[in-house]
Amino acid sequence: MTTIRRLLTEAKRCEGSGPRLHRNGPIGTVKRKHLIQEAKLLASRYSLGDRLDEMVYAAGCEALTGLNLDELEVVVSKLRGLGARLDVGCDPPELPPAR
């Protein structure tokens, strides 16, 4: 038992285990879950999975769940913008928008 206590006291805290894992209470958890679902939905709807992966890797994470709330909001807003541009670009020029 003393060996385990010694190892625990000597162990370093992981570099990425600070604010990234902080969820800001239940409201932050719900918002976080909503943003992750929205990012996945937008990526699948517009075939932007590769673009989503690029944004996650550029943020220094290996998975979407590793992003904090601010980073998730940025990713989702970028995906929304890309989706809106794809919608406008695919509309026939002589007809009104299909939405």
Considering the domain boundaries, does residue 83 fall inside one?
Answer: yes
Range of the domain at 55: 30-90
The maximal CA–CA distance of the chain, rounded, in angstroms, is 78
Number of structural domains the chain divides into? 1
Structural contact between residues 47 and 10, judged by C-beta atoms closer than 8 angstroms:
no
CA dist., res. 56 & res. 65, Å (int): 9
Considering the domain boundaries, does residue 70 fall inside one?
Answer: yes
Considering the domain boundaries, does residue 23 fall inside one?
Answer: no
Give the global pTM: 0.68
- What are the pLDDT tens digits along the chain (99 aa)? 788 877 777 775 555 555 544 556 677 789 999 999 999 999 999 999 999 999 999 999 999 999 999 999 999 999 999 999 888 887 777 777 666
Q: Look up residue 48 and give its two tokens.
A: 């932007």
CA dist., res. 91 & res. 97, Å (int): 6
Q: How many CA atoms lie within 13 A of 42 on its CB side?
A: 23
